[in-house]
Amino acid sequence: MTIDRAVIAFAGFMIMATLLLAHYHNPLWIWFTAFVGFNLFQSAFTGFCPLAIVLKRFGLKEGACFR
């Protein structure tokens, strides 16, 4: 698995998890969903993703987006 795919998978998981938390626990979890979406949006333009840095240190292969 490359860093690119891991970032997308992690973001998708976090969005689904926070939507479930917002529905069953507290609606304020939607703000975390918005935070994940904002990070995806800004990384598309800047190439900076904190998760990609962490995953690179764990030894995942570089992809086309995050080097």
* Count of other CB atoms within 10 angstroms of residue 18: 20
Stated pTM of the model: 0.85
pLDDT at 66 over 80: no
**pLDDT tens sequence across 12-55:** 999 999 999 999 999 999 999 999 999 999 998 998 999 999 99
Helices within the chain (DSSP H only):
3-24, 30-46, 50-57
Looking at residue 37, its pLDDT comes to 94
What is the spatial distance between Cα 4 and Cα 32, in angstroms, rounded to a whole number?
21
Looking at residue 64, its pLDDT comes to 84
Instruction: Map out the domains of the chain as residue ranges.
Output: 3-57
